[in-house]
Amino acid sequence: MDVLATIAEIRAATDAARTAGRTVGFVPTMGYLHDGHVSLMEAARRDCDLVVASIFVNPLQFGAGEDLDAYPRDLPRDLALSEAAGVDLVFAPAVAEMYPRPVLTTVSVADVTARFEGASRPTHFAGVATVVAKLFAIVGAGRAYFGEKDWQQVCVVRRMAADLSLPVEVVACPTHREDDGLARSSRNVYLSPDERAAAPVLHRALQRGADLIGAGERDPAVVEAAMADLVATEPLVGLDYAAAVEADSLVSPAALAGDVRLLIAARVGRPRLLDNVGVTVSGSVP
Ligand code: AMP
């Protein structure tokens, strides 16, 4: 596995692979890797000839007062995990390599960023869309792998790639969880033992919402209230939102139909944790 720090080097490597007819898969990350990241790398390994992962804590997607400086980092461990997952090239640039001058050009995606994470973090998705567009331009992969864990991010990146006709297929991979249902996240290291014990209530709430829909409930407000009520049983968990929305647009429908996404976010001690599940609503009420 090669570790490259400059745009010129990674371009040269992926250009050579494409010229030789090899397919290139790309997994963008902010490092501090866990099994969720590894599952994306393994999916890319199965599908593609050359697997590129990036490790870059992107300052553009952190707002003032967020955890940019404190964001956990461990490059030697990340490189070992990447190599074990079958990654061929790691792109680990310095901030000055990615942003040598003040950034005057940004990518913003409307509507799908208006609610949920975009409401709590107003500059976050422009930071994500800008760095992902830039990384796509640098790496030139045919397929890029993202986690469903960050469902709104998947929607933003898919829409950006479609609107800008970027020649990349955005592949969404299932959320990796701990045995008790907690979605793996680099930010889980911030949880105290009590908070860690309380955090799986988020996944239980999503399951309760999915069960209600499975039992025939079609009113999003009823599903949302049931999820919120369950989260309220854990005093250490401060709910931000619990929502039942159309999966691609993230719009709240009058009645649940087709592909639905249940989204949840909560403050658990220091970190805000996110989770979601998909539910497909069939035409008939069981
Ligand atoms: P991050 O390093 O947090 O920016 O995440 C990099 C990629 O890994 C994103 O596409 C995330 O959605 C994905 N990811 C993070 N956590 C998980 C998880 N538990 N399961 C699957 N993918 C994940």
Q: What percent of the chain has pLDDT over 70?
A: 99
Instruction: Check pocket membership of 149 for ligand 1, CB cut-off 6 A.
Output: yes
Alpha-helical (H) ranges within the chain are: 7-19, 35-47, 75-84, 95-98, 117-120, 124-139, 151-163, 193-198, 201-214, 220-231
What per-residue confidence (pLDDT) applies to 149? 98
Computed from CA positions of residues 219, 223, 228, 230, in that sequence, does the dihedral angle turn out positive or negative? positive
What mean pLDDT is reported for the chain? 97
The catalytic position among 37, 124, 176, 203 is 37
Residue 285 predicted with pLDDT over 60:
no
Residue whose CA is at the smallest distance from ligand 1 atom 8: 37
Query: Are 267 and 247 within 8 A, CB to CB?
Result: no
- For residue 37, which atom of ligand 1 is closest to its CA? 8
CA of 194 to the centre of ligand 1 (A): 24
CA of 119 to the centre of ligand 1 (A): 20
174-195 average pLDDT score: 97
pLDDT in tens, 23-69: 999 999 999 999 999 999 999 999 999 999 999 999 999 999 998 99
What per-residue confidence (pLDDT) applies to 135? 98
pTM surpassing 0.95?
yes
Instruction: Quote the CA–CA distance of 116 and 3 in Å, as a whole number.
Output: 35
106-127 average pLDDT score: 96
Residue 232 predicted with pLDDT over 90:
yes
What per-residue confidence (pLDDT) applies to 284? 57
pLDDT in tens, 159-177: 999 999 999 999 999 999 9
What per-residue confidence (pLDDT) applies to 207? 98
Active site residue 203: no
DSSP state string for 64-102: TTSSTTTS---HHHHHHHHHHTT-SEEE---HHHH-SS-
CA of 188 to the centre of ligand 1 (A): 12
Q: Which residue among 26, 27, 29 is best mutated to probe the pocket of ligand 1, counting the most ligand atoms within 8 A of its Cβ? A: 29
In three-state secondary structure terms, 107 is coil
- For residue 33, which atom of ligand 1 is closest to its CA? 2
What per-residue confidence (pLDDT) applies to 177? 98
